[in-house]
Amino acid sequence: MISNELLEELQKLNRADKLRVIQLLAGDLVSEEEPYFTPDATYEVWSPYDAPAAAETLLKMLEEDQAQNG
């Protein structure tokens, strides 16, 4: 449980220090979660760049939606 004294001290902080506390606490929460990513690892991200079939499918879906919704 958070003490009233701690809350009072946190409220006295300037904006930059409050943001630092938020970053610290958010980092702690993330580290407590199940690790989805390994630090310093490289992950492949798929992109539709140079995927003309995907672009055609998306365009077709947009055209169908426009036709249905006027």
Q: What is the structure's pLDDT at 41?
A: 87
Structure tokens at 57: 């499918």
Tens place of pLDDT per residue across the chain (70 aa): 789 999 999 999 999 999 999 999 998 888 887 677 777 889 888 777 778 888 888 899 999 999 998 7
Domain boundaries, the chain: 1-36
Distance CA 48, CA 62 (A): 16
Rounded to 5 degrees, φ, ψ at 32 are: -80, -20
pLDDT of residue 66: 94
- Tell me which residue has tokens 């990513």: 37
Identify the pLDDT of residue 64. 94
The sign one gets for the Cα dihedral 30, 35, 37, 39 is positive
What's the confidence (pLDDT) of residue 52? 85
pLDDT at 35: 72
Nearest to 48 by CA among 39, 57, 40: 57
